[in-house]
Chains A and B, each alone.
Chain A
Amino acid sequence: MWETIAAPPFLLLVSLAMPLWGALVILLTCRNDAASARLLALFFAVATLVAATGVVVQFPTDQPAAQANYAAAALPWLGEATGLDIRFDVAVDGLSLWLYGLSALLVLTAVLISWTTVREREAGYYGLLLLLAGGMLGVFVARDMILFYIFFEFTLIPLFVLIGIWGSDRRRYAAVKFFLFTLAGSLLTFLGLLLLVLQYDTFSIPELTARAMASPLDPAWQTAIFLLLFAGFAIKVPLFPLHTWLPLAHVEAPAAGSVLLAGVLLKIGTYGFLRFSVPLLPEATATLLPWLLWLSVAGIVYGALVALAQSDLKRLIAYSSVSHLGFCMLGLFALNRLGIQGGVLQSINHGISTGGLFAIVGMIYRRYHTREISELGGLARRTPWLAAFMVFFTLSSIGLPGTNGFAGEFLLLCGMFQRASATTAAAYSTQFYAIAVLAVSGVVLGAWYMLWLVQRVFFGPLREPTHDAEPIRDMGWSEFFSLAPLAVFVLWIGLFPGQFLKPMSATLDRLTGRATAAWEQQAEAAARTDAAELADRGQNSPQRAESPPR
Chain B
Amino acid sequence: MFEPQLLMRVIPALPLAAAVAIALLGPRVLKRSCHALLVVALLGSLVASVLLARQVLTAGAHGEDHAGKNHAAAAASPEADEHSTAAEIPQTTLWRWAAVEGATSSSAATYASSGGEPFAESQPLDFTIDITLRADALTAIMLVMVTFVSLLVAIYSIGYMHDDRGYWRFFSYVGLFVFSMTMLVLSSNFLLLYVFWEAVGVCSYLLIGFWYEKPEASAAGKKAFLVNRVGDFGFALGIFLIWTLFGTLNFHDTSAIDGVLGLNRIEAAAYPAGIVATAICLLLFVGACGKSAQFPLHVWLPDAMEGPTPVSALIHAATMVTAGIYMVARCTPLFAASGYAGYVVAGIGGFTALLAGLIAVTQTDLKRVLAYSTVSQLGYMFLALGVGSAAGIAAGMFHLITHAFFKALLFLGAGSVMHAMGGVIDMRRFGGLRRLMPVTHWTFLIGCLALAGLFPLAGFWSKDAILAAVYDEAAAHGTGDWEHAATFFNYLFLVASFTAFLTAFYTFRAFFRTFYGEERIPPEAGHHAHESPAVMTVPLMILAVLAAVSGYLLHVNETFAHWLAQTPGIPAVVHHEGHSSSHSFVAMLSTILAVGGIGLAAYFYLGELTQIDRIARWLRPLYVASYGKFWFDPLYQLLIVGPLWLLAQLAYFLDRYLIDGLVNLVGYLPRVFGGVLRRVQNGMLQLYVLGMIVALLLLAAAVVLPRLPVPEKPAESEATSVQPSPAPIRVGHRPPTLPSPDHTSRPLRGEGVR
**Is the beta-carbon distance between B732 and A221 smaller than 8 angstroms?**
yes
**For residues 637 through 659 of chain B, which have their beta carbon under 8 Å from a beta carbon of chain A?**
644-645, 647-649, 651-652, 655, 659
Contact stretch, chosen from B295-303, B337-345, B698-706: B698-706
**Is the beta-carbon distance between A215 and B738 smaller than 8 angstroms?**
yes
User: Known contacts A338-B127, A440-B236; is A190 also within 8 Å of B699 by CB?
Assistant: yes
Sorted nearest first, the 6 A-B pairs with minimum C-beta distance are A459-B218, A221-B732, A401-B195, A83-B750, A308-B648, A421-B244
Determine the chain A residues whose CB is within 8 A of the CB of B741 once the complex forms.
214
Q: Which of B245, B700, B731, B748 contacts A221 (CB 8 A)?
A: B731
Per-residue interface assignment for chain A, residues 327 to 338, with 1 indicating a CB less than 8 Å from any chain B CB and 0 otherwise: 000000000111
The reply on A436 being an interface residue by CB < 8 A is yes
Per-residue interface assignment for chain A, residues 490 to 513, with 1 indicating a CB less than 8 Å from any chain B CB and 0 otherwise: 000001111001100100000000
The reply on A309 being an interface residue by CB < 8 A is yes
A80 to chain B, nearest CB (A): 8
**Is the beta-carbon distance between A202 and B748 smaller than 8 angstroms?**
yes
Q: Which residue of B has the minimal Cβ distance to A307? A: B648
Q: Which of B127, B660, B732 contacts A199 (CB 8 A)?
A: B732
Contact stretch, chosen from A7-15, A44-52, A352-360, A441-449: A441-449
Determine the chain B residues whose CB is within 8 A of the CB of A135 once the complex forms.
none
Per-residue interface assignment for chain B, residues 199 to 237, with 1 indicating a CB less than 8 Å from any chain A CB and 0 otherwise: 100100100010011110111011001100110110011
Interface size on B, residues (CB 8 A): 95
**Is the beta-carbon distance between A160 and B100 smaller than 8 angstroms?**
no
Cross-chain pairs A/B with CB under 8 angstroms, 5 sampled: A211-B740, A338-B100, A413-B236, A418-B243, A443-B236
The reply on B678 being an interface residue by CB < 8 A is no
The reply on B578 being an interface residue by CB < 8 A is no
Per-residue interface assignment for chain B, residues 707 to 732, with 1 indicating a CB less than 8 Å from any chain A CB and 0 otherwise: 11100000000000000100101011
Q: Which of B101, B245, B648 contacts A505 (CB 8 A)?
A: B101
User: Known contacts A198-B727, A413-B236, A505-B100; is A218 also within 8 Å of B213 by CB?
Assistant: no
**For residues 680 through 714 of chain B, which have their beta carbon under 8 Å from a beta carbon of chain A?**
683, 685, 688-689, 692, 695-696, 699-700, 702-704, 707-709
Q: What is the CA–CA distance of A306 and B704 in the complex, to the nearest angstrom? A: 46
Q: Which residues of A contact B (CB under 8 A)?
A: 79, 82-85, 146, 149, 153, 157, 160-161, 164, 172, 176-177, 179-181, 183, 187, 190-191, 194-195, 197-199, 201-202, 204, 207, 210-211, 214-218, 220-221, 241, 244-245, 302, 305-310, 336-338, 341, 378, 380-381, 395, 400-402, 406-407, 410-411, 413-415, 417-418, 420-422, 424, 436-437, 440-441, 443-444, 447-448, 451-452, 455, 458-462, 495-498, 501-502, 505, 516, 520, 524
B45 to chain A, nearest CB (A): 20
**Is the beta-carbon distance between B731 and A199 smaller than 8 angstroms?**
yes
**Is the beta-carbon distance between B750 and A211 smaller than 8 angstroms?**
no
**Is the beta-carbon distance between A305 and B648 smaller than 8 angstroms?**
yes
Q: Which of B191, B205, B749 contacts A83 (CB 8 A)?
A: B749
**Known A447-B226, A524-B107; 15 more pairs at CB < 8 Å:** A84-B748, A194-B699, A210-B742, A215-B737, A217-B735, A221-B733, A309-B651, A337-B101, A380-B212, A401-B196, A410-B191, A415-B103, A417-B243, A437-B237, A460-B212
Candidate in A194, A305, A310, A415 with the most chain B CB atoms within 10 angstroms: A305
**Is the beta-carbon distance between A447 and B649 smaller than 8 angstroms?**
no
**Is the beta-carbon distance between A448 and B226 smaller than 8 angstroms?**
yes
**Is the beta-carbon distance between B703 and A79 smaller than 8 angstroms?**
no
Q: Which residue of A has the minimal Cβ distance to B700? A: A146
Q: What is the CA–CA distance of A452 and B709 in the complex, to the nearest angstrom? A: 65
**Is the beta-carbon distance between B108 and A164 smaller than 8 angstroms?**
no
Q: Which residue of A has the minimal Cβ distance to B737? A: A215
User: Known contacts A176-B683, A218-B732, A496-B97; is A455 also within 8 Å of B240 by CB?
Assistant: no
**Is the beta-carbon distance between A194 and B648 smaller than 8 angstroms?**
no
**Is the beta-carbon distance between A83 and B737 smaller than 8 angstroms?**
no
User: Known contacts A215-B735, A221-B731, A418-B104; is A84 also within 8 Å of B707 by CB?
Assistant: yes
Q: What is the CA–CA distance of A191 and B667 in the complex, to the nearest angstrom? A: 20
B165 to chain A, nearest CB (A): 10
B interface SS class: helix
**Is the beta-carbon distance between A497 and B98 smaller than 8 angstroms?**
yes
Q: What is the CA–CA distance of A104 and B195 in the complex, to the nearest angstrom? A: 30
B438 to chain A, nearest CB (A): 39
The reply on B96 being an interface residue by CB < 8 A is yes
The reply on B198 being an interface residue by CB < 8 A is yes
**Is the beta-carbon distance between B659 and A444 smaller than 8 angstroms?**
no
A14 to chain B, nearest CB (A): 28
A414 to chain B, nearest CB (A): 6
Q: Which residue of B has the minimal Cβ distance to A145? A: B703
Determine the chain A residues whose CB is within 8 A of the CB of B683 once the complex forms.
172, 176
User: Known contacts A378-B213, A418-B104, A460-B213; is A164 also within 8 Å of B735 by CB?
Assistant: no
The reply on B105 being an interface residue by CB < 8 A is yes
The reply on B480 being an interface residue by CB < 8 A is no
**Is the beta-carbon distance between B652 and A309 smaller than 8 angstroms?**
yes
**Is the beta-carbon distance between B743 and A201 smaller than 8 angstroms?**
yes
Q: What is the CA–CA distance of A305 and B659 in the complex, to the nearest angstrom? A: 15
B118 to chain A, nearest CB (A): 15
Q: What is the CA–CA distance of A176 and B668 in the complex, to the nearest angstrom? A: 13
**For residues 150 through 199 of chain B, which have their beta carbon under 8 Å from a beta carbon of chain A?**
191, 194-199
**Is the beta-carbon distance between B750 and A400 smaller than 8 angstroms?**
no
Determine the chain B residues whose CB is within 8 A of the CB of A338 once the complex forms.
100, 103, 127
**Is the beta-carbon distance between B742 and A161 smaller than 8 angstroms?**
no
Determine the chain B residues whose CB is within 8 A of the CB of A84 once the complex forms.
703-704, 707, 748, 750
The reply on B241 being an interface residue by CB < 8 A is yes
Per-residue interface assignment for chain B, residues 102 to 144, with 1 indicating a CB less than 8 Å from any chain A CB and 0 otherwise: 1111011100000000000000000100000000000000000
Q: Which residue of A has the minimal Cβ distance to B730? A: A198
**Is the beta-carbon distance between A406 and B218 smaller than 8 angstroms?**
no
B346 to chain A, nearest CB (A): 27
Q: Which residue of B has the minimal Cβ distance to A462? A: B213
**Is the beta-carbon distance between A244 and B748 smaller than 8 angstroms?**
no
The reply on B609 being an interface residue by CB < 8 A is no
Q: Which residue of B has the minimal Cβ distance to A315? A: B652
Q: What is the CA–CA distance of A395 and B700 in the complex, to the nearest angstrom? A: 47
Candidate in A79, A220, A336 with the most chain B CB atoms within 10 angstroms: A336
**Is the beta-carbon distance between A498 and B738 smaller than 8 angstroms?**
no
Q: Which of A207, A306, A447 contacts B746 (CB 8 A)?
A: A207
Determine the chain B residues whose CB is within 8 A of the CB of A214 once the complex forms.
737, 740-742
B304 to chain A, nearest CB (A): 15
User: Known contacts A211-B742, A378-B213; is A306 also within 8 Å of B648 by CB?
Assistant: yes
Determine the chain B residues whose CB is within 8 A of the CB of A211 once the complex forms.
740, 742-743
B691 to chain A, nearest CB (A): 9
**Is the beta-carbon distance between B195 and A406 smaller than 8 angstroms?**
yes
**Is the beta-carbon distance between A202 and B746 smaller than 8 angstroms?**
yes
Q: What is the CA–CA distance of A337 and B106 in the complex, to the nearest angstrom? A: 12
The reply on B674 being an interface residue by CB < 8 A is no
Q: Which of B104, B645, B700, B738 contacts A422 (CB 8 A)?
A: B104
Q: Which of A306, A400, A424 contacts B198 (CB 8 A)?
A: A400
The reply on B752 being an interface residue by CB < 8 A is yes
Q: What is the CA–CA distance of A190 and B696 in the complex, to the nearest angstrom? A: 9
B157 to chain A, nearest CB (A): 21
**Is the beta-carbon distance between A306 and B241 smaller than 8 angstroms?**
no
Determine the chain B residues whose CB is within 8 A of the CB of A183 once the complex forms.
688, 692
B286 to chain A, nearest CB (A): 12
Q: Which residue of B has the minimal Cβ distance to A380? A: B212
Determine the chain B residues whose CB is within 8 A of the CB of A202 once the complex forms.
746, 748
**Is the beta-carbon distance between A414 and B243 smaller than 8 angstroms?**
yes
Determine the chain A residues whose CB is within 8 A of the CB of B97 once the complex forms.
495-498
B245 to chain A, nearest CB (A): 8
Determine the chain A residues whose CB is within 8 A of the CB of B102 once the complex forms.
337
Determine the chain A residues whose CB is within 8 A of the CB of B753 once the complex forms.
83
**Is the beta-carbon distance between A460 and B218 smaller than 8 angstroms?**
yes
